[in-house]
Amino acid sequence: MTLTPADAPGTRLTPADLRLAADLAVAALRPARDADWSVPAGGLEWDCWETAEHLIDDLFSYAAKLAAERTGSNVPYRRTTGSPGGPDNAVHVERAAGPEGMLAAFEAAAAIMHAVVSVKPPEARAYHVYGDSDPEGFIAMSVVEILVHTHDLTTGLGLAAWEPPADLCARALYRLFPHVPGGADPWPTLLWATGRGDLAGRERLAEWRWYGAPR
């Protein structure tokens, strides 16, 4: 069983959903502002600091590509890793700024992305490795990145279990994961679709992807 038009949520994703996801993530992570962010982020190979930087870099990169409406390839920013095996980012956060600085950098990146998608017309297109996408697609990508990496971070930092709104998860799933099974709760399904959890009757995914082409 896969998601079909009958499974379509009542509304499409909007810039307000990106803002909501970012606000919820900051609220979930702020209790860890004095924690050690060098611990592994959930089941990832990266630590929490690297994972948060990766998330910030995603939002910045999406905003840059969509602002320029660049298709076919990434905007050629110089990308570097902070450590062997770490994420390859154009954006890095000063470690001396600590978790408070990281959260400030995240809020700034989310605000920039929100500003860009708020002014782009539906026909705008920009590059992604999984296919050129439209503003709603980039909102969905941003929302998924925020939700699943906040899960990674809250898990790694030992915070309270993170469960974002089901409606937000359902709309992101419908937009980017039309191939996933329908009928289950949206949040566990999103975790399964991104290789982070189990789903009844389905094998756990070792590899996964989304489909950002306009729907």
- What mean pLDDT do residues 92-102 have? 97
- What mean pLDDT do residues 182-196 have? 93
> Residue with structure tokens 């959260």?
103
Rounded mean pLDDT of the chain?
A: 93
Q: Give residue 2's pLDDT.
A: 62
Of residues 51 and 6, which shows the higher confidence score?
Answer: 51
Instruction: Say yes or no to pLDDT of 13 above 50.
Output: yes
178-205 burial: b if 16+ Cβ within 10 Å, else e: bebbbebebbbbbbbbbebbebeeeeeb
Q: What percent of the chain shows pLDDT beyond 70?
A: 95
Helix/strand/coil for 81 = strand
For residue 203, what is the DSSP state?
Answer: P
Question: Do the beta carbons of residue 88 and residue 80 sit within 8 Å?
Answer: yes
Residue 4 — pLDDT band, cuts 50, 70, 90?
low
